[in-house]
Structure 1
Amino acid sequence: MQPVRRTSLIAQVTEQLRAEIRSGRWSIGSRIPTEPELTELTGTGRNTVREAVQALVHAGMLERRQGSGTYVIAASEVGGTLAKYFADAEERDVLELRQALDTTAAALAARRRDDTDIATLRRLLTERGENAVGAGDIAAITADVQLHRAIVVASHNAVYLEFYDSLLPTIEHVIHSRTARSDDSYDAEHRTLVQAVIDGDAERAAQATRCFLGSLIAEYPEPR
């Protein structure tokens, strides 16, 4: 039996880490385990783990943040490529795209949500409301992003979710940028949206999303 080549071992560990992301065990926006934890998880050395992580950084699925750790930013290489493209987009352009995506997702979610989706939406709405999104609170912004993602999850459309996930880092950046200028957190609009999804009212859910994002878009000048 020939010994396992190091390159093959790196490829195996890379695939193992990729599987953690694809399965959702390491969700978009979450920090992955530390390097010592990964060596224990994979049963390999630090150099192997470091190269496997770097491969996923190059693929656009992971992002290293100085002094904080390594975070999941996309669920696939395709999502990573899209995330890099969206990173330089204008804020208004992102919001206009979100208006189309979120409105459709809200209508689908109202028709397809299950008990697990409803429980998740209620929890995230509460978490969002416990902090001041308008003041730029990190926990509240995270809950806000995850609330909108949970609506897409409730649409039960895997392709839709993967595309939306590729937008999440950019969406979060836009929210941070906007909350630095405004303290309006649109709490009532979010409560209306979530209740419409829970009630199974697709038309009301779509309308609530359309109006809410339309208000955000109106804060930006019309492009010339």
Structure 2
Amino acid sequence: MPKSKRNKQVTLSKTKKKGRDHKEGIVNSIKDASEKYSSVYVFSFENMRNQKLKEFREQLKSSSRFFLGSNKVMQVALGRSPSDEIRPGLYKLSKLLRGDAGMVFTNLDKGEVERLFNEFEEYDFARTGTIATEKVDLKEGPLEQFTHEMEPFLRKQGMPVRLNKGVVELVSDYVVCEEGKPLSPEAARILRLLGIKMATFRLHLICRWSPEEFELYIDGPDDSDVEGS
């Protein structure tokens, strides 16, 4: 039987932000999870919403464990090459931990994990810099959805408004945002006031590892290198 690599010492000298003890704790937790759970997935995310992710993690708490944070620390824990990986084939996952990504170790079967991730979708108000999914323009005239106290705030956001007999009125047509263009801070605030949600928090499976196989879900620039390594 091959010797377990789980207790192999690793260096964290290149990751220095949160303190050695904290990072070593994450590394050890990932090593423990690699033994406890039957499979592990790398996933990416867009428009992260921490509270929604917390709820999703809580839903899977009894069967799974999530890891998000420093990609470098997670890569060190998994191993970056066959020579330092903690289980055969896990180093391939470290090559795919890039950008907005995380891991989930789980005992759920493959079909259930795929269903849960594919169905996960949460709409929320967009933040500054988000690409607008539609054009929003307001026509000249009364804006009865706003109280008169809101008029100074709306004016500060660049909207051409005035009070007319206690009613907020737009004195000319106003484009809040254009489809396909990043939202300004002012546009993001106005869309929130209008109740228009343009951000969708999604999770995308990138790859799956189990002792029996390694599977890619999303093609990427280095996938041939990962498969061929």
* TM-score category, normalised to shorter length: under 0.3
Higher helix share: 1
Structure number with the bigger relative contact order (C-alpha 8 A, sep ≥ 6) is 2
Q: TM-score, normalised by structure 1?
A: 0.25
Q: TM-score, normalised by structure 2?
A: 0.25
Higher strand share: 2
